[in-house]
Chains A and B, each alone.
Chain A
């Protein structure tokens, strides 16, 4: 049973890693909007990059 003394700390390390990953994802805004990104692929018009005018995009 002494393997537990290795495996449990290992599992805790994995939990901390997963938790850190989740925190990063939340802070990066991955969970801010769970609906509209799903619709993006269906939208015909490509959303304009901020600061550029519409004409540039249409020409491309």
Chain B
């Protein structure tokens, strides 16, 4: 099947599907969904070629991240989780209510993406594969929808309250209201409360219905039952005219506060998603491919590796690639957080998602779709957001158990009050159902985590494992696994000692000429110096050095042993040379010594003292030589530094620390430190390129900015503190209010207020973790302009 055709059809179908869904949601609770169309809609995703752009394949398992529309609280996520798990072929599921995303991992031999999405759709949710177009559109629609419902509930509540206050004041003043007017008020209240109940309250009622149909007790079940009971009793009493109580004021107020709580939670979730989406910024859908001397516009999905694409000024790079011509100016803020454009010479690797801010460039495609560096970052981040930490999973399980007791308790309250005073039974039962909803308890952890993840993302830290945040908060030792984490990782020629009567410049020229073709890190130290003349017979000796002929003379550069082999004279290095000594020589004699050193990152010393003030002791365990390690340790102020550590020794020293009851964070560049990183309580990878894809780290410092580290520790501690406050507050509220309601001390309207405010309090408490200006970042001008153009 042709890929571009595929995509067009799929976009069309998912477009109309979305429309259908909203038509259905805005209408009444009947389901005018065309099942044939729905079946067709998911069938598109069965085509592996098409599904590939949304999925990742590892170890023979396929995984994907789905954005689930209609996912409202952790009961919904529990339902999806349970139903999917019963499906044969599903390997792992994790659903996060706070971000509205689900990670699903399955066996491709038994299932395909279409099956997974169909299963979720059958539960009454709408799954979207996460590409950014669908994300931003779904988020926008959800927000608009929430605002409308909030407005209806708010207006309705005010109107109904107006009549309720009139009736209550008459009662308080012991006046008797004209029965005609009273009845008129009730009918008008009914008129106003009905749209509030069935439009603003529809998500609650539907979600309660869905969980009942799935034979589980979701968060919305007691609330839904209470609403239906109160509304039905009020309607009955209005028309019966027997003087029975009406609860239109409680119903509208309850729906208003529930809708408000959901709206606030949705805003927090969307703000988090906004940060992720700033990372996962929409890649263009059309690329300009150069072929047969002309340029043709093709869908990005039909690009192949090796194609040459042209990227015009202001466009986003559609794929990873190698720069072909000239110098490019790229905005790489996405990857590095660096806001200034970066100049890239021809031949450099460029990354999908960066913006070309200079003139038009040509790029040879080297990686596409889910293979790009951007996709790796996004996949890591999404995995973290979809994965629930242990604390949240426990809270969920507790809430689900608690709900069953609530239903039981409501039944008992009703029965006991009937025996004592039947007129009170209804109100007390309503109050128990409403007041006991453990919504606040269930969102306590996810809300705090979502906000913290957003904050970390702003500082250039990716949280790839939700448990890492908890571990980071408790850390008291940090092991710098390499000196490279404290230094820039770029060697420079810090000294040149000519041995014969050559000038320093001449020595450097020869060295630079020899080294210019090499990619070795030591060789790159010479790159900033100009080379002299052309080199013939260039040969590289791995692990030793380089040999080449300049103007007929044979030179060698590299380790002293290697160079000395050429002229068979030995030469002692000057005693004051530190770092890694390099020798230059010709066939007769040694010509010069070079000293290469790595400079310490400017922020390193400050970071070390900040960490100390947080009660965290920094330690260096390095494989480098004593001299280099001691210099770095002294410059940044670390007292405990061990040099010449093998990986085995690092590991045993680390385990030794842990046996003393210390909690240790390990920072490495993630390349050859995997076992050490994995052994730490929490592991932090310095992240560029390949290291980013390194999954063993819990946190990745994307921008290589070490100073984000103390901030991250502070944030982790605050997150844990706020999550604990949330859990404590909601537990106190739930257990405290339940007996009061059962004794009939809380009228239904007060129960509604209390329950709603407890959830709102939890969410607002969590927003203290959010960075202040996330919106500015995610809606910065060039970004929105580009996405509009692409859409």
Residues of chain A at the chain B interface (Cβ within 8 Å): 1, 4-5, 8, 11-12, 15, 18-19, 22-23, 26-27, 31-36, 39, 43, 47-48, 50-51, 54
The residues of A that contact B313 with a CB separation of less than 8 Å are 54
Cβ A50 vs Cβ B785 within 8 A: yes
Q: Which of A36, A43, A50 is within 8 Å of B779, CB to CB?
A: A36
C-alpha spacing A36/B773, complex, angstroms? 11
The residues of B that contact A51 with a CB separation of less than 8 Å are 789
Report the nearest B residue to A21, measured CB to CB.
B151
C-alpha spacing A46/B781, complex, angstroms? 10
The residues of B that contact A5 with a CB separation of less than 8 Å are 184
Q: Could you say which interface size class chain B belongs to?
A: 20 to 34
Q: Which of B139-185 contact A (CB under 8 A)?
A: 140, 143-144, 147-148, 151-152, 155, 159, 178, 181, 184
The residues of A that contact B159 with a CB separation of less than 8 Å are 11-12, 15
Cβ B785 vs Cβ A48 within 8 A: yes
C-alpha spacing A5/B183, complex, angstroms? 12
The residues of A that contact B188 with a CB separation of less than 8 Å are 8, 12
Cβ A4 vs Cβ B788 within 8 A: no
C-alpha spacing A12/B144, complex, angstroms? 24
C-alpha spacing A24/B761, complex, angstroms? 31
What distance in Å separates the Cβ of A36 from its nearest Cβ neighbour in chain B? 4
B534 at the interface (CB under 8 A from A): no
Q: Which of A19, A35, A47, A48 is within 8 Å of B775, CB to CB?
A: A35
Cβ B781 vs Cβ A43 within 8 A: yes
C-alpha spacing A43/B776, complex, angstroms? 13
Cβ A35 vs Cβ B776 within 8 A: yes
Cβ A19 vs Cβ B152 within 8 A: yes
Q: Which of B767-787 contact A (CB under 8 A)?
A: 775-776, 779-781, 784-785
Cβ B144 vs Cβ A32 within 8 A: yes
Cβ B785 vs Cβ A31 within 8 A: no
C-alpha spacing A35/B188, complex, angstroms? 39
The residues of A that contact B191 with a CB separation of less than 8 Å are 12
The residues of B that contact A33 with a CB separation of less than 8 Å are 775, 779
What distance in Å separates the Cβ of A2 from its nearest Cβ neighbour in chain B? 9
Cβ B789 vs Cβ A36 within 8 A: no
Cβ A19 vs Cβ B776 within 8 A: no
Cβ B144 vs Cβ A26 within 8 A: yes
The residues of A that contact B76 with a CB separation of less than 8 Å are none
Report the nearest B residue to A23, measured CB to CB.
B148
Q: Which of A4, A18, A39 is within 8 Å of B776, CB to CB?
A: A39
What distance in Å separates the Cβ of B176 from its nearest Cβ neighbour in chain A? 14
A19-B155, A35-B776, A51-B789 given; name 5 further pairs at CB < 8 Å. Answer: A4-B181, A22-B148, A22-B151, A48-B785, A50-B788
The residues of B that contact A35 with a CB separation of less than 8 Å are 775-776, 779
What distance in Å separates the Cβ of B155 from its nearest Cβ neighbour in chain A? 5
B192 at the interface (CB under 8 A from A): yes
Cβ B789 vs Cβ A18 within 8 A: no
C-alpha spacing A21/B785, complex, angstroms? 28
What distance in Å separates the Cβ of A15 from its nearest Cβ neighbour in chain B? 5
Cβ B781 vs Cβ A19 within 8 A: no
The residues of B that contact A1 with a CB separation of less than 8 Å are 178, 181
The residues of A that contact B776 with a CB separation of less than 8 Å are 35-36, 39
Say whether, besides A31-B144, A36-B779, A50 and B789 are in contact (CB < 8 Å).
yes
C-alpha spacing A5/B181, complex, angstroms? 9
Query: What 8 A-B pairs come out closest when comparing CB atoms?
Result: A35-B775, A36-B779, A22-B151, A26-B144, A26-B147, A15-B155, A26-B148, A19-B155
C-alpha spacing A31/B779, complex, angstroms? 14
The binding surface of chain A is classed by DSSP as helix
Say whether, besides A5-B184, A18-B155, A19-B155, A36 and B784 are in contact (CB < 8 Å).
yes
The residues of B that contact A36 with a CB separation of less than 8 Å are 775-776, 779-781, 784
C-alpha spacing A38/B80, complex, angstroms? 40
Report the nearest B residue to A48, measured CB to CB.
B785
The residues of B that contact A15 with a CB separation of less than 8 Å are 155, 159, 192
Say whether, besides A31-B144, A35-B775, A23 and B151 are in contact (CB < 8 Å).
yes
C-alpha spacing A26/B784, complex, angstroms? 19
Cβ A12 vs Cβ B192 within 8 A: yes
Report the nearest A residue to B191, measured CB to CB.
A12
C-alpha spacing A60/B780, complex, angstroms? 24
The contact sample of 28 A-B pairs, CB cut-off 8 A, is: A1-B181, A8-B184, A8-B188, A12-B159, A12-B188, A12-B192, A15-B155, A15-B192, A18-B155, A22-B148, A23-B151, A26-B151, A27-B144, A31-B143, A31-B144, A33-B779, A35-B776, A35-B779, A36-B775, A36-B776, A36-B780, A36-B781, A39-B776, A47-B781, A47-B785, A50-B788, A51-B789, A54-B313
The residues of A that contact B143 with a CB separation of less than 8 Å are 31-32
C-alpha spacing A48/B547, complex, angstroms? 56
What distance in Å separates the Cβ of B184 from its nearest Cβ neighbour in chain A? 7
C-alpha spacing A27/B80, complex, angstroms? 30
The residues of B that contact A47 with a CB separation of less than 8 Å are 781, 785
Q: Which of B564-620 contact A (CB under 8 A)?
A: none
C-alpha spacing A38/B562, complex, angstroms? 66
What distance in Å separates the Cβ of A29 from its nearest Cβ neighbour in chain B? 8
What distance in Å separates the Cβ of A60 from its nearest Cβ neighbour in chain B? 18
The residues of A that contact B788 with a CB separation of less than 8 Å are 50
C-alpha spacing A22/B313, complex, angstroms? 40
C-alpha spacing A19/B789, complex, angstroms? 33
What distance in Å separates the Cβ of B22 from its nearest Cβ neighbour in chain A? 11
C-alpha spacing A4/B162, complex, angstroms? 13
Report the nearest A residue to B156, measured CB to CB.
A15
The residues of B that contact A19 with a CB separation of less than 8 Å are 151-152, 155
C-alpha spacing A28/B780, complex, angstroms? 21
Q: Which of B9-26 contact A (CB under 8 A)?
A: none
The residues of A that contact B784 with a CB separation of less than 8 Å are 36
The residues of A that contact B785 with a CB separation of less than 8 Å are 47-48, 50
C-alpha spacing A33/B140, complex, angstroms? 10
What distance in Å separates the Cβ of B504 from its nearest Cβ neighbour in chain A? 47
The residues of A that contact B775 with a CB separation of less than 8 Å are 33-36
What distance in Å separates the Cβ of A23 from its nearest Cβ neighbour in chain B? 6
Say whether, besides A12-B191, A12-B192, A32 and B140 are in contact (CB < 8 Å).
yes
C-alpha spacing A10/B692, complex, angstroms? 63
C-alpha spacing A18/B159, complex, angstroms? 13
